[in-house]
Structure 1
Amino acid sequence: MIRPVRPAGYHPPVTQAVPLPTRPLTVATVQAEPVPGDVAGNAATAARLVGRAAGARVVVLPELFLPAYHPPVLGADPAGTDVAAGADGRVDDPRLDPLRAAARDGATSVVIGAAVRHPDRRRTISSLVVDPTGAVTVGYDKQQLWSGERELFVPGRRGATLLVDDWRFGLGICYDGCFPEHGRAAADDGAHGYLCPSGYLAGSEHRRDLYYAARALDNTMYVVFANSVDGADPWRFNGGAAVYEPEGRALVRGADTGEDVLVATLDPAALGATRAAHTMLTDRLPHQGPARATLVG
């Protein structure tokens, strides 16, 4: 189930009102190379990768994986690279049928990147959620657009939390995770984890590895980071898909090249112990800005 969240920004946290999950949850993160413009072929690739993550309750694939993160193709063929959403956020596109079947067969919730055309003609970078029944819903529209993305897409209007069993996951996409307040808004809504399909280009390895570990530690929550990999310059991606535990250490991490499916188990006991030892979420002052004193030395 997906529930909306207010836009990122300070609001009274509900973290402590949300109980810890009662059972561990197995998740998978994917790094793979989609073919620009081939939504049907990329959906079939995604289905194959979901099959490799047998036993995972949640599988996360990269940003814009269905059309591929390739702005020249996204700009030249919006009709062919977009999926259409209904007024209720549902997506009924036969090109996604293999992925629907993989989610059903694996009893898995799949989070995958897409270019979405909404009924009001907005075009967004979005995460689709394919639930274990095979239903496809627009889960979240990227709020923080990066660089030339603003020429092709409009920003999302609000955050979202995905509920899987008794685990709560904030949804982010790539550049969202560069903003501490975005992950904090998820934590304030009671998230136990943060799912971030992404598209990091070769040469950005330092930032790739720093941002999502920091979001985990900032908010004492798990972070699942997926990324595209390989491709041709200037759209060559650097993999490094990872799952971070609530102190920011990588439980699993992919190489900088090559396809991979990485599986990890999220442990509610580890989450609880970390939040008991590191109480930033409850110790935070409600009014830390914007007022500042100015000192003259």
Structure 2
Amino acid sequence: MTSPATPAAPLTVAAVQADSVPGDLAGNAVAAARLTGRAVSEGARVVVLPELFLPAYHPPTLAADPAGTDLVAAGDGTVDDARLDPLRAAARDGAAVVVVGAAVRHPDGRRTISALVVDCGGVAHAAYDKQQLWGDERALFQPGRRGATLLVEDWRFGLGICYDGCFPEHGRAAAADGAHGYLCPSGYLAGSTHRRDLYYAARALDNTMFVVFANAVDGVDPWRFNGGAAVYDPQGRPLARGADTGEDVLVAVLDPAVLADTRAAHSMLADRPADPGAARAALRG
């Protein structure tokens, strides 16, 4: 288990809930730039937007127009697409790191649901591919092959996308790599409020780390989403949370003193046995 030093200074982050237009990648990039600007105006250095925000989470459109909805990654993972220029400019001008959902086509032909990271220099990277595909996503995409950690100053963030966060092992793998936080672009459909509010608070407490949960919102049935974007502290308590409808930018400060105090008081990461199943015995009733 990696135990990096506690970050030296607080970091302001934003979890966005917003609706995007199916298939309009250029227009959605403009919207992402606008939302990034709003977050930056409130002090955010890291901005997280929903799953598949750039093409929109709309499987019929993703199936019908892969060429128009995909971004193409180079061999080094960078993405050079003029449609991203407004978002690149917003990140660069705001000195912010933006994490936004995209459909990515890799050089080997794989199509993935990805977390695109636009760094503070305006360079876009296909940083992480969703490992746990949900339902019909399996007909359109292939699962990612590995986890990823994003470094922002001296903060370490594990990257996850929606259904990844339903697996305790995924958040724990981020914590095992030394994560102080977990960034989760997501797309929860209306009717899933209980699970939406449970999973990410649990991942925070399981691993005594901050969680930044961005979610799609509104839309048209059957692809109507339920917002509730949130930032959770390392005990799973919301520092900020959005409503179930309506666009919003939820801004919160990640305090390293809170992280250190929580990990000192709740030492699950340090106390976890190397092999939690080693002593298991079968009993016959």
Please give the TM-score of this superposition, normalised by the length of structure 1: 0.94
1:29 equivalent in structure 2:
15
Q: Aligned residue pairs: how many?
A: 283
1:57 equivalent in structure 2:
45
Q: Which of residues 29, 32, 42 is equivalent to 1:43?
A: 29
Q: Is 1:225 paired with 2:213?
A: yes
SS at match of 2:21: coil
| Equivalent-residue separation in structure 2 for 1:254 and 1:96 (angstroms) | 26
CA displacement at 1:289 relative to structure 2: 2.2
Moved over 2 A (4+): 289-292
CA displacement at 1:293 relative to structure 2: 1.3
SS at match of 2:29: helix
Partner deviation per Cα, 1:24-64 (whole Å, 9 max, x = no partner): 00000100000000000000000000010122110000000
Structure 1's unaligned 5+ residue stretches are 1-12
The correspondence of residues 8-27 of structure 1 with structure 2, limited to 5 A, is: 13-14=1-2, 16=3, 18-27=4-13
Q: Which of residues 106, 117, 120 is equivalent to 1:132?
A: 120
The correspondence of residues 157-196 of structure 1 with structure 2, limited to 5 A, is: 157-196=145-184
SS at match of 1:53: helix
2:69 equivalent in structure 1:
81
2:80 equivalent in structure 1:
92
2:108 equivalent in structure 1:
120
The correspondence of residues 148-297 of structure 1 with structure 2, limited to 5 A, is: 148-289=136-277, 292-297=280-285
SS at match of 2:79: coil
CA displacement at 1:111 relative to structure 2: 0.1
CA displacement at 1:291 relative to structure 2: 6.8
| Equivalent-residue separation in structure 2 for 1:121 and 1:295 (angstroms) | 50
Q: CA RMSD in A?
A: 0.8
| Equivalent-residue separation in structure 2 for 1:278 and 1:267 (angstroms) | 17
Q: Are the structure 2 counterparts of residues 72 and 290 from structure 1 closer, same or farther at C-alpha, using a change threshold of 3 Å?
A: farther
| Equivalent-residue separation in structure 2 for 1:240 and 1:256 (angstroms) | 5
Q: Percent identity?
A: 78
